[in-house]
Amino acid sequence: MKPLLGYRKPAPGTQPSHLYPPYVSSIKRAPKQPLVAIPITLSEITGPAFPKEIASPNAFDLTRQHKGEPLGERIEVGGRVVDEDGRPVRHTLVEIWQANAAGRYLHKNDQHNAPLDPNFTGEGRTFTDEDGRYRFVTIRPGAYPWKNHYNAWRPQHIHFSLFGPAFATRLVTQMYFPGDPLLEFDPIFHSVPDEAARRRLISSFDWLSTEPDLSLGFRFDIVLRGRNATPMER
């Protein structure tokens, strides 16, 4: 039988631990026992490949889901999804969700006293292309307060969910904006110990995707786990 190639373990410090006490919600929800390391099997190197139909052709444009246009600064967010060897992750599903320009989510549990926008839901999905590229059109989300500590505010962010080719490559993350003064104080951002890794969560302003008289461009490249070069020995 052909030996299975697993997925590489993250480099030390480049992923958050489950427990990060400054992020208070992690205290009662992070497991206390160490994770149990297991051999790679077919169950980890396979994963769902979604049919294209689950993302309608316009689902990448969050500004065109209602009768009118949402309020806020129109932006285009795009980039490439590659693995740790730089290979494009093709035709993979990307789901996003975000607050509106006032910093309010269209969610019953969001009690922030900021207005909802009848023209903005804040959800989008698309597939990467042959080269691993994706693109969304949306509005810049607002910062918003939360209850983690006194005067806590989340920096502006967009949530991203990606599958990649395998169960082992599943990633949910958040994209931040360059120059946001709130990043320095955000425990979720700071849960990633390695500074260089952390900074990769910050998108960059991008002239190439900035459309004259239309929208500012931000680039957010995403790296999914790469394949081991040799089969795991156990």
Partner 1 sequence: MPGPSTPSQTVGPFFSIGLDRLNRANLAEGSAGERLVIHGRVLDGDGQSVPDAVLEIWQADADGRYHHPEHAGPQNDATPFFGFGRIPTDAQGQFSFTTIKPGPVHGPDGKPQAPHLQISLFMRGLLRQLVTRIYFPDEPLNASDPVLQIVPESRRDTLIARPTKHEQTTLEWNVCLQGGNETVFFDC
Residue 228 token pair:
């081991």
Tell which residue, 223, 211, 172, 186, has the closest CA to residue 77.
Answer: 211
Residues in the chain: 234
Compare residues 44 and 210 and give the one whose CB is closer to partner 1: 44
Tell me whether strands 74-83 and 216-219 are parallel, antiparallel or unpaired: parallel
Judged by CB under 8 A, does residue 32 bind partner 1? Answer: yes
Judged by CB under 8 A, does residue 21 bind partner 1? Answer: no
Judged by CB under 8 A, does residue 124 bind partner 1? Answer: yes
Contacts (CB under 8 A) with partner 1, residues 74-93:
82-86
Judged by CB under 8 A, does residue 106 bind partner 1? Answer: yes
Contact 138, 62 (CB under 8 A): yes
Contact 186, 225 (CB under 8 A): no
Judged by CB under 8 A, does residue 155 bind partner 1? Answer: no
Is residue 159 annotated as part of the catalytic site, yes or no? yes
Judged by CB under 8 A, does residue 110 bind partner 1? Answer: yes
Judged by CB under 8 A, does residue 42 bind partner 1? Answer: yes
Compare residues 35 and 208 and give the one whose CB is closer to partner 1: 35
What three-state secondary structure class fits 160?
Answer: strand
In order of 25, 27, 171, 174, 220, the CA distances from 83 in angstroms are: 30, 31, 12, 18, 14
Candidates 114, 119, 226, 228; binder of partner 1 (CB under 8 A) is 226
Judged by CB under 8 A, does residue 114 bind partner 1? Answer: no
**In this chain, which stretch among 63-71, 163-171, 177-185, 208-216 interacts with partner 1, using CB under 8 A?**
163-171
State the sign of the Cα–Cα–Cα–Cα dihedral 79, 84, 86, 90. Answer: negative
Catalytic residue among 105, 176, 198, 225: 105
Residue 192 token pair:
């990633």
Minimum CB separation from partner 1 for residue 149, in Å?
A: 15
Catalytic residues: 105, 144, 154, 157, 159
